[in-house]
Chain A
């Protein structure tokens, strides 16, 4: 890119002084003033030449993580390499721009200027700036602009470097409180007896232990029983884990206010937190359906990698005043089994019953109970803070 030059405020003052001296030289016909004018014009022109040289000599790049959660502070490193062998550059400013990569967004891009105090000849210098991306979605960084007034600050040169990069901002991941865990656990305990345990094929063999009341006789490990003289049963690692299914209703009015948009993000953030929690523990299957502008459904075995991928996908889902609820429920039902725990998340209290009814209408015999036991979460209610916190 061709550098653009401008004269700084100090430069204009300097030019005024040159004009004053030259005027004095001509009017008074003073040779020493001519000399003084030469001594002043020289640095000005050299400054112009050197800033041009400086911005052409700098190769600048940006380094940053490519995926973050909303509200996370990221560090963006700006690295500049000076290609000149004999020309060090001081006081270089690099301007970066951060904007949402969304055609519908009307947000003003954020500009940040960082200062590279010195870049020695033939070497590199780096500085970092912090960036807080508060909303979910895709953000574009760049283009970078190198600005320098070195060495005298009289003339400024600015060169655009077509260096753009993207950052995906996932929903914010919060913290599930102990109350939430208790709610989930207590429901599991109450269901413990009536709930049929998994068969041998449902989990991985873990070891043997002494028999306890309630253990199925089918689990008895007879060889060990024979050896020990006591009844021993086989134990399976995943026999207590349940599959988790989350259905998120991303409803918002046709003309949403900030509150509605905030609730949409909150619903997604809650769902993302639950999903992250499930994936972190592992050993379960996770089904997440988001009914918004369209239906998005993910069905996966829980793992940290899966959580990363899921969070990234959630960065792009969009809310709607007419979310595809029916489709979402139907697709969700298909992935439910008797062992599933269904969590219904909505942005408006009136839609929770509607959601549950839709589930009942479309559930079969096996899944009706699951729908019946579903946990409903209305993010617009202040009680949410009892189960979920963002900080």
Chain B
């Protein structure tokens, strides 16, 4: 059909409202995607870079059009970014590789943001944004990821809807250009004068085309309605996604959400941590576990008044090699046994522990610990040592464990006398001679000054040498005496590598962290012939009042000492007291510490507590769906045929109970500061009311503000000289009570008043009105100047309208006439 000519005037050249909003939303999307990645990286650099790029590209490239990247320059930038990221990709492990891909996606998006936008660029940006979320989902598991994802969803749906409207407009505009074949158009409309007359009859196919008015097709119309529908769509999507998430079957065993190479490293310390390792762990803020105490009789949460000692690894053997000292577990460890059943004790508490993925078999709990009906049967305790562990832990497949144990450590919220019967650790009677020998190993040559210090301390305090408890406490006090030792994580002090670090700690620098103190005390006790060992665990001081649990972080790692008491030295009144059995006395030599735990201070911020509780719920009810957690793994081998849990943690009654607790907590005095709860609630209600009020009156002020900010005054409404005749026209109709609504275009207005005009002044008047509107469009949007002839026609039409609408003698004020 011949060549095709594009009718360019039909395509709006200026940015429409739809495109402007789309450009904003696509940038918000890119920023949110980068924030998701930033959450995974725990870095703000990429989000800041993206925010900068989004802002500058919006103003410089899209608004002011000062510069834009040429398409090929853009590709070149992307290739350079790819090469740059590839070098990172080749360096790292799979986690690092994913991070390299994430960075590449950010770079590519930045390159696209600085290009002139069209449908292709928007599409590419959308795809890269989505890929960004996919990568972020592989790197991130936090609750904030979920929250950000909800925002991301809303923005993404709004952007997609706007993109659809924009794309549809562009598509129809492009069709407008291609629908009129040139020669047909010429034959039908533009035939030259000298052409044979019969050629004018050559038109064959009907020609039909749609002419878009930029004024009308650039806008969204009812933006409020559009926003509401996007909101409803987002809500429906969330509901669907929740149903899909919980309804979709999961196969493949215990691996769902299992840590892989893509994940963050596991938390905690190894079973035999070195001094340096523990020093590093003590500087980390990552969460290791959450521990809640519950009264098994009432199932009510219990808030301890002091910090609990969560024991883990028990180290009894010390070696000094290659200039470094290291505590290790006993070489001949007895195989584990099941825990004893909980005694019938009214002070029995249930400790519920949820451990984050760890790389070793260790489990943690407050001693003494007992088995409860729902305690996983696979949990084992090494007899006499009291170390808990999970036998089949592979070490490489770290997953989150949840288990419950009983304990009688608390009396009215306070830890009782820190003595645990040897039998409660699974031991029988008292320590064997062999065990005693092992636990009193001491090298007087290597630790001569340390032994001297112990001896000196005991002599100075006149401690009776037959009272082991007294000796132990005296030696512990040696470290806690103010000004003598300094607790520090800075281990950069110079020391002679030929001297044992613990010897140097006591005799020389006297600076170190808890492992130094505990190690030195163990050796001091052994120098006095008292069996002693080091226990490494956690001593958290952060209690979440929303969820009623302790948040245990790596920085809460702690080392303390257990000294063995012969049966005759064990005080009575201890749970499970056995007159013929020995016991273990907990000693905490770290300055400022007490064996019963320091009183809990109100340390955590309320918002932080809520976030952490949300994270806990997120873990329990979202992340762990379909995955067998530690408890399930433990149940697997249960001899009691306990039922499998199915979706681990997916107990909705429990969820409702927890949410109710959180709601109740909000109303408690002191939630956001002492006795400020109701004020906060009132403030919140006022805020909601204010927001609702603003939304209600939004349409009254927003269009004006928007016009002032973006569009400037509307010439048609403000009486621009070029459309003076249209102003007259509207005034003429206004006298008849016909006013143009704010949302109406001039053409729609003329269309809406047509019937009125026909009925009042006849068909010709209505046609004159339509002609006036057509001329108005020519002038206002077509930019065509008015020549004399058109002026005369306009004047004639206006006069005719005036005469017909206001016949002579009719009473009306002609105030609108201009000279």
Contacts of B188 in A (CB 8 A): 71, 132, 134
Q: Does more than half of chain B's interface fall in helix, strand or loop, or is it mixed? A: helix
Interface contact A46-B240, CB-CB below 8 Å = yes
Interface size bracket, A side = 35 or more
Interface contact B134-A107, CB-CB below 8 Å = no
Contacts of A135 in B (CB 8 A): 201, 203-204
Residue from B200, B229, B248, B262 with most neighbouring chain A CB atoms (10 Å): B200
CA distance A127 to B216 in the complex (A): 10
Interface contact A129-B257, CB-CB below 8 Å = no
Known interface pairs A112-B209, A262-B199. Does A41 touch B244 (Cβ–Cβ under 8 Å)? yes
Known interface pairs A87-B229, A88-B226. Does A99 touch B206 (Cβ–Cβ under 8 Å)? yes
CA distance A134 to B200 in the complex (A): 9
Contacts of B240 in A (CB 8 A): 38, 41-42, 45-46
CA distance A213 to B430 in the complex (A): 160
Q: Give chain B nearest CB distance to A171 CB in angstroms.
A: 9
CA distance A33 to B250 in the complex (A): 12
Interface contact B237-A33, CB-CB below 8 Å = no
Give the residue name and chain of the B residue nearest to A134 (CB): B203
Chain A 180-204, CB-CB to B under 8 Å as 1, else 0, gives 0000000000000000000000000
Q: Give chain A nearest CB distance to B237 CB in angstroms.
A: 4
Chain B 295-329, CB-CB to A under 8 Å as 1, else 0, gives 00000000000000000000000000000000000
Interface contact B204-A134, CB-CB below 8 Å = yes
Give the residue name and chain of the A residue nearest to B254 (CB): A29
Interface contact B172-A17, CB-CB below 8 Å = no
CA distance A36 to B248 in the complex (A): 13
Interface contact B164-A151, CB-CB below 8 Å = yes
CA distance A17 to B148 in the complex (A): 20
Interface contact B245-A35, CB-CB below 8 Å = yes
Contacts of A263 in B (CB 8 A): 198
Contacts of A99 in B (CB 8 A): 206
Interface set, chain B 236-283, CB cutoff 8 A to A: 236-245, 248, 250, 252, 255-258, 260, 262
Q: Give chain B nearest CB distance to A80 CB in angstroms.
A: 13
Interface contact B198-A91, CB-CB below 8 Å = no
Contacts of A379 in B (CB 8 A): 197-198
Contacts of A139 in B (CB 8 A): 206
Interface contact B226-A90, CB-CB below 8 Å = yes
Interface contact B244-A38, CB-CB below 8 Å = yes
Known interface pairs A43-B160, A151-B229. Does A117 touch B201 (Cβ–Cβ under 8 Å)? no
Among B208, B248, B626, point to the contact of A110 (Cβ < 8 A): B208
Interface contact A131-B208, CB-CB below 8 Å = yes
Interface contact A36-B133, CB-CB below 8 Å = yes
Known interface pairs A132-B203, A391-B191. Does A39 touch B153 (Cβ–Cβ under 8 Å)? yes
Q: Give chain B nearest CB distance to A21 CB in angstroms.
A: 6
Please tell me if B622 contacts chain A, counting CB pairs below 8 Å. Answer: yes
Known interface pairs A20-B134, A262-B199, A262-B201. Does A91 touch B208 (Cβ–Cβ under 8 Å)? no
Q: Give chain B nearest CB distance to A49 CB in angstroms.
A: 9
Select the stretch in A118-126, A277-285, A288-296 that faces chain B.
A118-126
Please tell me if A93 contacts chain B, counting CB pairs below 8 Å. Answer: yes
CA distance A71 to B160 in the complex (A): 42
CA distance A33 to B138 in the complex (A): 8
Among A50, A133, A266, point to the contact of B198 (Cβ < 8 A): A266
Interface contact A112-B210, CB-CB below 8 Å = yes
Interface set, chain A 367-391, CB cutoff 8 A to B: 379-380, 382, 384-385, 388, 390-391
Please tell me if A269 contacts chain B, counting CB pairs below 8 Å. Answer: yes
Chain A 129-146, CB-CB to B under 8 Å as 1, else 0, gives 111111100010000000
Interface contact A153-B167, CB-CB below 8 Å = yes
Contacts of A126 in B (CB 8 A): 751
Q: Give chain A nearest CB distance to B476 CB in angstroms.
A: 47
Please tell me if B205 contacts chain A, counting CB pairs below 8 Å. Answer: yes
Please tell me if A13 contacts chain B, counting CB pairs below 8 Å. Answer: yes
CA distance A10 to B161 in the complex (A): 12
Q: Give chain A nearest CB distance to B649 CB in angstroms.
A: 12
Interface contact A108-B237, CB-CB below 8 Å = no
Interface contact B201-A266, CB-CB below 8 Å = yes
Known interface pairs A29-B258, A110-B208. Does A17 touch B127 (Cβ–Cβ under 8 Å)? yes
Interface contact A150-B164, CB-CB below 8 Å = yes
Among B160, B175, B187, point to the contact of A152 (Cβ < 8 A): B160
Please tell me if A300 contacts chain B, counting CB pairs below 8 Å. Answer: no
Contacts of A240 in B (CB 8 A): none
Please tell me if B212 contacts chain A, counting CB pairs below 8 Å. Answer: yes
Contacts of B262 in A (CB 8 A): 28
Q: Give chain A nearest CB distance to B263 CB in angstroms.
A: 10
Interface contact A34-B245, CB-CB below 8 Å = yes
Among A20, A34, A112, A384, point to the contact of B197 (Cβ < 8 A): A384
Interface contact A153-B219, CB-CB below 8 Å = no
Contacts of A41 in B (CB 8 A): 240-241, 244
Interface contact B207-A110, CB-CB below 8 Å = yes
CA distance A119 to B547 in the complex (A): 49
Q: Give chain B nearest CB distance to A61 CB in angstroms.
A: 15
Interface contact A29-B210, CB-CB below 8 Å = no
Please tell me if A15 contacts chain B, counting CB pairs below 8 Å. Answer: no
Among B167, B207, B241, B257, point to the contact of A31 (Cβ < 8 A): B257
CA distance A29 to B248 in the complex (A): 13
Please tell me if A114 contacts chain B, counting CB pairs below 8 Å. Answer: yes
Please tell me if A344 contacts chain B, counting CB pairs below 8 Å. Answer: no
Q: Give chain B nearest CB distance to A155 CB in angstroms.
A: 11
Contacts of B203 in A (CB 8 A): 70-71, 132, 134-135
Please tell me if A261 contacts chain B, counting CB pairs below 8 Å. Answer: yes
Please tell me if A309 contacts chain B, counting CB pairs below 8 Å. Answer: no
Interface contact A120-B225, CB-CB below 8 Å = yes
Contacts of B172 in A (CB 8 A): 93, 113-115
Contacts of A98 in B (CB 8 A): 206, 208
Contacts of B206 in A (CB 8 A): 98-100, 110, 131-134, 139
Interface contact B219-A107, CB-CB below 8 Å = no
Known interface pairs A90-B165, A117-B219, A132-B208. Does A29 touch B202 (Cβ–Cβ under 8 Å)? no
Please tell me if B711 contacts chain A, counting CB pairs below 8 Å. Answer: no
Interface contact B205-A117, CB-CB below 8 Å = no
Contacts of B165 in A (CB 8 A): 90-91, 117
Please tell me if B169 contacts chain A, counting CB pairs below 8 Å. Answer: yes
Give the residue name and chain of the B residue nearest to A31 (CB): B257
Contacts of A134 in B (CB 8 A): 184, 187-188, 201-207
Contacts of A312 in B (CB 8 A): none
Please tell me if A249 contacts chain B, counting CB pairs below 8 Å. Answer: no
Interface contact B134-A29, CB-CB below 8 Å = no
Interface contact A36-B198, CB-CB below 8 Å = no
Interface contact A132-B189, CB-CB below 8 Å = yes
Please tell me if B385 contacts chain A, counting CB pairs below 8 Å. Answer: no
Interface contact B198-A259, CB-CB below 8 Å = yes
Q: Give chain B nearest CB distance to A243 CB in angstroms.
A: 27
Interface contact B233-A43, CB-CB below 8 Å = yes
Chain B 219-234, CB-CB to A under 8 Å as 1, else 0, gives 1111001100110010
Interface contact B198-A112, CB-CB below 8 Å = no
Please tell me if B130 contacts chain A, counting CB pairs below 8 Å. Answer: yes
Q: Give chain B nearest CB distance to A239 CB in angstroms.
A: 32
Please tell me if A103 contacts chain B, counting CB pairs below 8 Å. Answer: no
Interface contact A39-B208, CB-CB below 8 Å = no
Contacts of B137 in A (CB 8 A): 30, 32-33, 35-36
Known interface pairs A41-B240, A379-B198. Does A112 touch B179 (Cβ–Cβ under 8 Å)? yes
Q: List 7 A-B contacts (CB under 8 A).
A: A10-B167, A39-B238, A87-B229, A120-B222, A134-B207, A151-B160, A263-B198
* 8 new A-B contacts at CB < 8 Å, known A31-B622, A132-B188, A134-B205: A20-B134, A41-B244, A42-B241, A42-B244, A91-B164, A115-B169, A131-B206, A150-B161
Q: Give A residues with C-beta under 8 Å from B.
A: 10, 13, 17, 20-21, 24, 26, 28-39, 41-43, 45-46, 50, 70-71, 76, 87-88, 90-91, 93, 96, 98-100, 107-108, 110-115, 117-118, 120-121, 126-127, 129-135, 139, 149-153, 172, 258-259, 261-263, 265-266, 269, 379-380, 382, 384-385, 388, 390-391
The 6 closest A-B pairs by CB, nearest first: A134-B203, A262-B198, A153-B164, A118-B221, A38-B244, A38-B241
